[in-house]
Structure 1
């Protein structure tokens, strides 16, 4: 198992949890972003900077991801591509994406995009909380223990 992180939008607290988990379990961890991401000196932890552009980091993750790899992302289309490759995908709040529900999740995402494009104000996601951090940490621990 390798952990890939869609790091452009990754909260710092999640980045720190992933670094600790990788150091503890020695599971390879790679942050992929279109900007430099500093990582501690560790043979299992790397940062990959890609060029700027729409979905460049996502495309690089899809290209490099193998079956059973874990991708951390808030990007639902990226999660769908990872699931299609038999990988695992988890968002920053610790919610695992699932093959059985990813189409419905994509449909809802597209529907909300259409509503926002029509000028409707839909609000945004709720603020990242301590409970979200705990849910993420618990989910990562479960996935790493099951590998």
Structure 2
């Protein structure tokens, strides 16, 4: 099992938790980004900067992540593609994307996109708070435990 991070959009706090959990469980972490990132000095963390282009990082993740790997991402269409490959996917706020919730998640995303495009709602990203950090840590621990048992 390997942990992959869609690094461009992942909050720094979530990345730090991933590194901590991965070190504790002796797992490799691969950060995939479309732009340069600061890579931690840990030998078990690697950084791959993909060529710029529409969905280049997403395409790299889908191509390289394997069944029973874990990808941390907030991109719902990317999560859908990964789930179809039997890859576990976790949002940095602690929500696991699954076969069971993906249809509803995609529908909600599409609805909000449409409402934003019509100007009926504004797009404001909520800050990453202490509750998000705790939810993510709990979900990450549960998911890594479950994947290790496979």
- TM band (smaller chain): over 0.9
Whether the 8 Å contact between 1:116 and 1:122 is mirrored in structure 2 is yes
Whether the 8 Å contact between 1:22 and 1:45 is mirrored in structure 2 is no
Cα RMSD for the two superposed structures: 1.3
TM-superposed CA distance for 1:42, in Å, is 2.9
- 1:107-146 equivalent positions in 2, closer than 5 A: 107-146=107-146
Deviations 1:40-72 (A, max 9, x none): 333321111011222110110000011111110
User: Could you list the runs of 5+ residues in structure 1 that have no partner in the other structure?
Assistant: none
Whether the 8 Å contact between 1:10 and 1:92 is mirrored in structure 2 is yes
**Equivalent residue pairs, number:** 147
More displaced 10-residue stretch of structure 1: 65-74 or 30-39: 30-39
- 1:32-71 equivalent positions in 2, closer than 5 A: 32-71=32-71
Once residues 60 and 102 of structure 1 are traced to their aligned partners in structure 2, the CA distance between those partners, rounded to angstroms, is 21
User: What's the secondary structure of 2:131's corresponding residue?
Assistant: helix
Whether the 8 Å contact between 2:116 and 2:123 is mirrored in structure 1 is no
TM-score of the aligned structures, taking structure 2 as reference length = 0.92
Once residues 51 and 104 of structure 2 are traced to their aligned partners in structure 1, the CA distance between those partners, rounded to angstroms, is 31
Runs (4+) of structure 1 exceeding 6 A deviation are none
Once residues 106 and 32 of structure 2 are traced to their aligned partners in structure 1, the CA distance between those partners, rounded to angstroms, is 23
Deviations 1:98-130 (A, max 9, x none): 101101111111111111111222453432210
TM-score of the aligned structures, taking structure 1 as reference length = 0.93
Is residue 21 from structure 1 mapped to residue 21 from structure 2 by the alignment?
A: yes
Cα separation, partners in 2 of 1:131 and 1:110, compared to 1, 3 Å: same
